[in-house]
Chains A and B, each alone.
Chain A
Amino acid sequence: MASIADHPTPASRRNSFWRHFRYVLASNPVTAVAFALFMMFVTAALFGPWLVPYDPLATDGASALQPPSWSHWFGTDHLGRDVFSRVVVATRLDLSISVAAVALSFAAGSALGSLAGYYGGWTDRVVGRCLDTIMAFPLFVLAMGIVAAAGNTIENVIYATALINLPFYARMARAEVNVRRESGFVQAAKLSGNSDLRVLAMHIFPNSLPPMMVQISLNMGWAILNAAGLSFIGLGVRPPTPEWGIMVAEGANFIVSGEWWLALFPGAALMLAVFTFNLLGDGLRDLVDPLRRT
């Protein structure tokens, strides 16, 4: 909102936000757990390289394939690298890929969807059919194809993940904008001299954010899985960069010979991340919904 800055008492507003935040967490312990896990992931992403006990890239032939112990919590891999350090350091890359991808698809998807929902008619039909075309492909295969065709880089993994998620945001934004198109406050905004685009951006779209927040959070988990999946099959990130998908892929070879820790811990990190973002959705919705604030 553009107008928050004009308020005479920003401090009291900030306080009320924290009060509200605490209330949301207290009223739903699951949300509190989700936020705690989320903070853990953010910490690992920001400070991971300084927190870990070993260099994630340093090989040590003498201590290869050791099971979890006090010196190596998650064991070591076939090159003697510390799995714990690699899992923690990988958080940054995995989170940045998914955050970037989700941010891109949210921005593009909600812009397209809002326009389609607001103007209807031809805009709606053209946007709708384009999205249907994307949805018609098996999405993961489409992402694979895009990365394979555009070049095997991290940027292309981000673009591919963003593109396959775009229809979900666009459809949701379209539906949310569509139901508000005729509401009284929209007409009132037009009477106040707002142009169509301004009405859409300042009045309608912010009101469709709460359900979009849930979508963003669910999608984050999905995007992480997608990025890891792509690197699992050898697209995007390349070894020796620590990344959960590659680590699972490399570790999978050793499961048959009994070295389970190589694949289990990066896989568990992946699962926990997806789990966190799924739980976070409800909490985020409660947080941004003005009606929950009293």
Chain B
Amino acid sequence: MNAIPLLDVRDLTVEFATRRGTVRAIERVNIAVGKGETVGIVGESGSGKSVTSYAVMRILDRAGRIAEGAITFGGIAIDKAPEKVMTELRGREMSMVFQNPRAALNPIRSIGRQIEDVLIEHALAVRSTAKQAAIESLRAVKIANPEERYHAYPFELSGGMCQRVVIAIALACRPQLLIADEPTTGLDVTTQKTVMDLMVELTQARGMSTILITHDLGLAAAYCDRIVVMEKGKVVEQARAASLFSDPAHAYTKRLLRATPRLDSNVRDLLPEPKPAPPPMPQGAPLLEVRDLVKEFSGRRGAAAFRAVDGISFTVHEGESLGLVGESGCGKSTTSAMVMRLLDPTSGAIRFAGEDIAATPAARFARSPLRGKLQMVFQDPTDSLNPRWSAFDSIADPLFRLGGIRRDAARGRVEELARLVGLPQELLDRFPHQLSGGQKARVGIARAIALDPKLLILDEPTAALDVSVQAVVLNLLADLKVELGMSYLFISHDLNVVRLICDRVIVMRQGRIVEEGQTESVLHDPQHQYTRTLLEAIPHPPAIYQGEGLPA
């Protein structure tokens, strides 16, 4: 690090005025970023990592204020600078890449125009030269056919492309500091790799400093020089990336490292305390048989029909966990919706417990006796709970509708379910927004297992959760499976997580199955090129105990 850091954050405390008085979001945070350095800020939700970056950019919302401390950027005292100076600095000297690229772009303005706006705003171009400069920026982020893409609107581009445009906007004025706030959350692993590689290449070529804010230790390990670990608004540890992984000093860092799935860890390794592995379940007769399943979505006005799922067949045996892996748009969610009988297939058979359930239309399946035996845990625990219903109401709903349980008898059963999933009884009367992400996930699981299902579809059940919560939820799912004798169909894009839970795995691409086999053999000896690409794109934190070097 240079003698004088580019960005120097000292004893920074940010307070928010809320209904229940002042809340300290971050407390006495010290971070220094040298010229050309890439610093990762790692922490779970609520750790204050985003608030820190907002304070640096001075874009805290109205309730928030910098209570104490100093932020110096290239000799300018940011914490005291007037808004006029900040407007000059933002975009020109320091800029930001946001989490959701689609939300960060103006949906009704072409992307070329949006780049021009930034250039003209900071007087780096005039109307006549702006178009050429914008096309150059698009070329720099490796967008093919920049002249054509100049006219494209955000909705015409994929998530990865949008993020490239956001990066192009952020780098258009050649700032000295780039803050990337979870830049690849929500993108596929292969897209994540290309976006991150691009960002690192561009910032290094321009000698820029970068702050990478992420919850993913693997990502931070792969791309950062130095890592700052935050917990509950405080910096608990900062160290060079290599030494952080080989020799974590703080207990929280150790816990975080443990909870991050690695290539060699099993589901119990993620927990802070050791626990005996769940006993293996004997696999029985085929429970779910899917044969030549096809789903076509009709095209608009004579356009060819789009085949989202293109004739796939697979079997889930009793007591088995099958992983269904693929990137967005591969048809895995459509498949799960059809198996779950929320969507009618175009053709093909779905045999569940010996009965062809595809014969019953999705609209009438709600009254089928098999409905309760086929349940699902949804991806986003927040979205999957009715915001106006308490946890009790949500868990009890299937009991009333399908379980034939009367209202006065439900309390006992719901309490039993809450115990099974480890949800404290007193939380049952709370509304979803009063629960944490992990608690909401437990409510969702309790609701799914309320009717003793035979098959549970898990649709990325931990994608929206912090790693430590993910560790607990995955272990809970592993235990429940044995305890209740369920089979799982686990849908995910994350091979690392699939490996922890599943016996067998199916890799899907463009509606077809490209590879199928025992989890270990697929992961260690992939046969298909696509599976290999997928595996290589996953950033892994270096294995702690073997003391391996950093991945390039």
Contact = CB atoms under 8 A, between A and B. Distances in A.
A193 B342 contact: no
A194 B401 contact: yes
Contacts of A191: 340, 342, 371, 374-376, 398, 448
B401 A188 contact: no
Interface string A193-207: 111100000010011
Interface stretch (A35-43, A159-167, A179-187, A266-274): A179-187
Interface in B479-522: none
A22 interface: no
Main SS of the interface on chain A?
Answer: helix
A188 B384 contact: yes
A8 B374 CA distance: 31
A7 B414 CA distance: 13
Given A184-B383, A187-B342, A188-B447, A195 B19 contact: no
B366 A194 contact: yes
A193 B363 contact: no
Contacts of A184: 378-380, 383-385
B388 interface: yes
Interface stretch (B161-169, B240-248, B323-331, B429-437): B429-437
Contacts of B376: 187-188, 191
Contact of B363 (A6, A187, A196): A196
A3 B389 contact: yes
Interface string A156-179: 000000000000000000000000
Nearest to B380: A184
Contact of A188 (B19, B378, B390): B378
A188 B394 CA distance: 9
Given A191-B398, A192-B401, A7 B429 contact: yes
Contacts of A9: 429
A23 interface: yes
B46 interface: no
A203 B387 CA distance: 9
Of A183, A191, A194, which is in contact with the most chain B CB atoms at under 10 Å from its CB?
A191
Contacts, number: 90
Given A183-B383, A185-B384, A190 B366 contact: yes
A23 B371 CA distance: 44
A293 B376 CA distance: 29
Contact of B386 (A8, A207, A293, A294): A207
Given A183-B383, A192-B447, A6 B407 contact: yes
B372 interface: yes
Given A192-B401, A193-B398, A193-B402, A294 B384 contact: no
Contacts of A185: 383-387, 394
A249 B204 CA distance: 78
Interface string B351-387: 0000000000001001100011011101110011111
A206 B367 contact: no
Given A192-B398, A192-B402, 16 more contacts: A6-B392, A7-B390, A7-B392, A7-B429, A23-B19, A184-B380, A188-B378, A188-B394, A188-B447, A190-B342, A191-B342, A191-B398, A191-B448, A195-B367, A290-B431, A294-B20
Interface of A: 1, 3, 6-9, 23, 183-185, 187-196, 203, 206-207, 290-291, 293-294
14 contacts: A1-B388, A1-B393, A3-B393, A7-B390, A8-B411, A23-B19, A185-B387, A187-B384, A188-B394, A192-B398, A196-B363, A206-B388, A294-B19, A294-B434
